[in-house]
Structure 1
Amino acid sequence: MHGFSLTIPARQTIAITGDNGVGKSTVVSLLLRLNVPANGQVTVDGQDLGAVSLASVRKHIGYVSQNVYLINGTVRGEILLMPKPDASDED
Structure 2
Amino acid sequence: MFDIGLLGAMINLNPESILCYDYGSYKGYFAENFVLQELRTYGFNKIVTWSGRSSEVEFVLEVNGSIIPCNLIRKRSQGTTSALLSGT
TM bucket, shorter chain: under 0.3
TM-score in terms of structure 1 length? 0.26
TM-score in terms of structure 2 length? 0.27
As a proportion of its length, which structure holds more helix?
2
